[in-house]
Amino acid sequence: MRRVFGALLRRGLVLLVMTLAVSLVACSSTATSTVPVSGQSTRTPHGSASATTTPQASCASALPGSTPFSGVSGVPGLQAPAGSYISSATTSGGGVGQYTVHTYTLCFPGAESAIDGGILTPTATPTSTIGYLIHGGWTLNNLFPDPTSFAYLDICSAPHICVNTSGVSDPFTFAGFDQFASPASGLMTTRLQVADLATPICLNDVGYYAGTPKYTLFEDSVNATSGSIPAYHFQMPPATRVSTFAGGGTAGSTYDYYCSAGSHDTVLAFLTQSMQNVGWTVTPTATGFSATDGSSPMYSIDLSILYPNNYSLRVFVPQ
């Protein structure tokens, strides 16, 4: 009897061990992960795929060498779109009587409208970079320094968009935006150019250059499209100031007194070219030149440069 009971007991133990072994194997084959031990990472199940996310393109990578935008020298109030990056500047021009042009590449998330969108008037609520500049006192104009001369102002037209100051502090600093492109999905770049010029040194002589000087882009106005008499609508040298002093006139003529950046030679060369561009015939004289335009009536202007970059235009009554 004891032998039979012992045999049954040994058989039961064997079956119990086998059952436990099978259970352990089954648990091992159906486990999806193991509990991590301190200092170890969780094991990924055999045969399962890990989800990957494509990184969003950024201006830092799309514009190598750029830095987060924090402003541009000479352009107070310039507000770039959030997340903008800007390159370092390249410089051109800067000779005697020339604008210095600083060129940047600006990268920003969004569309071109973030730079030039919205209603671009001083009284409108600004919604773009140019809108904020105009709202802050900059003038939307159609002029920017000619890259072939850096002194003469050229036409700025779509897709080139330009603004300039009113001439206070930095006389007629120009800013232009163009060459929009998309280097990656969701990003835009634009070329930003800033042209500036030091304030001219004007003669302090109440008998020659006095009154309250004002800046002018053209002989008759500060605007590129104004002027009731086309003959008088010629461009002035960079950073020109015209005096409000009205003196020295003689019968049949009046004198206008000017001061411009540059030198005697650059002012003379500039006005000669500028007046010839709009049809004047220019004849050199000992102090400058004598210019005429048209007939019946014929307009006449004499240029006299008695001091470096300080001069007068004697405007004769049309004959």
Q: What is the average pLDDT across 290-308?
A: 92
| Residue whose structure tokens are 């900059």 | 138
Do you find a cis peptide bond into 68, omega within 30 degrees of 0? no
Higher pLDDT, 132 or 210: 132
Chain segment 163-201, per-residue pLDDT in tens:
999 887 788 899 999 999 999 999 999 999 999 998 887
CA distances (Å), 90 to each of 24, 74, 169, 172, in order?
A: 72, 15, 23, 20
Looking at residue 90, its pLDDT comes to 97
Q: Give residue 27's pLDDT band: very low, low, confident or very high (50, 70, 90).
A: very low
Chain segment 68-103, per-residue pLDDT in tens:
999 999 999 999 999 999 999 999 999 999 999 999
pLDDT at 158 over 90: no
Burial class of residue 58 (count of CB atoms within 10 Å of its CB; 0-12, 13-18, 19+):
middle
Rounded distance, CA 233 to CA 188, Å?
39
Chain segment 244-283, per-residue pLDDT in tens:
776 666 778 888 889 899 999 999 999 999 999 999 999 9
Rounded distance, CA 32 to CA 34, Å?
7
Handedness of CA 18, 20, 24, 29 (dihedral sign): positive
Looking at residue 35, its pLDDT comes to 40
